[in-house]
Structure 1
Amino acid sequence: METLYDIERVVPHRGTMRLIDRLLAWGEDTVAVELRVPQEGPFSHDDGVPAWVGVEYMAQAIAAWAGCHARRAGREPSVGFLLGTRRYACSTPYFRAGALLRVEATCELLGENGLGMFSCRILWDGEELATANVSVFEPPDAMAYLENVQ
């Protein structure tokens, strides 16, 4: 069984921008995290959190997966980039405040250049609420990459 790191040790997101609460499991190609949909926060509305935020929930699950792999290799987690999503489907317009969500991601493809594709889903009480294919990019040196882009 892989080490279940504290979420703060495997994702770079801090404060109100860290949307996931806990690492549940991870392996060579998979990760599962959970979060409690907040009553108040940067994306909260009277009806809950809009369904489109689910893409970021998925991206942060992927960040946790990458961070776990970095920690296992003795490295610090690095910054990655959400490139986009394909076929995001969600059965609800909002995630209800207080709901405990499980977010799962499976690595479908990971290139040596840092480009990756993950199959993701969000579950509530065992029911699948959302699915998507999420594309990400983790450059070898994110800060150098950002400086070169500017």
Structure 2
Amino acid sequence: MAHGFPIHDIEQVIPHRGAMLLLDRVLDCDAESVAVELTVPIDSAFHVDGGVPAYVGVEYMAQAVACWAGCQARERGMPPPVGFLLGTRRYDSAVPAFDSGQRLRVEARREILGENGLGVFACRILAEGRELATANVSVFEPPDAMAYLENEA
């Protein structure tokens, strides 16, 4: 991954806060992809028996995509956008859980991004260079998220 954009503090590029901000830092970001990092916390709301269930990896991936979108927005002088996780395809995990204290690298690469705000990202989670989980993540970023939510209610 070629470094393309300035590396921002995670809270500058993602709308998540408090206990729902699951990532620690942005490692790299360019026009096509992003790499982020987290240390699996022992005090996570998702913590069970010494770790975090592997299915939480879908949210790690979704937040990596949100970081990518936030970095793109920052490059245009805009705040991080609000987007929605639509779903995943082919989520595959080599482990049942991510161990507490384990450092994870989450990568997301843009595969498709339409003018209508629909996108698909190829994502993976690694620890010490070993691939632990992969998936294709589908997302939606409406031009005006608040108006979209009000119309859907």
Counterpart Cα distance in 1 of 2:12 and 2:22: 14
Q: SS of 1:55's equivalent? A: helix
Q: Secondary structure at the match of 1:53?
A: helix
Aligned to 2:67: 64
Runs of at least 5 residues in structure 1 that lack an aligned partner in the other structure: none
Q: Which residue of 2 aligns with 1:128?
A: 131
Runs of 4+ in 1 over 6 A off after TM superposition: none
Q: Does 1:81 align with 2:92?
A: no
- State the identity as a percent: 65
The reply to whether residue 108 of structure 1 matches residue 84 of structure 2 is no
Distance 1:129 1:44 in 2: 18
Which amino acid in the other structure matches residue 29 of structure 2? W
TM-score (norm 1): 0.99
What is the distance in 2 between the residues matched to 1:23 and 1:78? 16
What are the ranges of 5 or more consecutive residues in structure 2 without an aligned counterpart? none
Does residue 25 of structure 2 align to residue 22 of structure 1? yes
- For 1:45-77, what per-residue CA distance to the aligned partner results, in whole angstroms no more than 9, with x for missing partners? 123000000000000000000000000001011
Q: CA RMSD in A?
A: 0.6
Does residue 1:141 correspond to 2:137, yes or no?
no
Letter in 1 for 2:109: T
Q: What TM-score, normalized to structure 2?
A: 0.97
Matched residue type, 2:15: P
| Residue of structure 2 equivalent to 1:36 | 39
Q: Which amino acid aligns with 1:123?
A: L
Indicate conservation of the 8 Å contact 2:42/2:50, yes or no: no
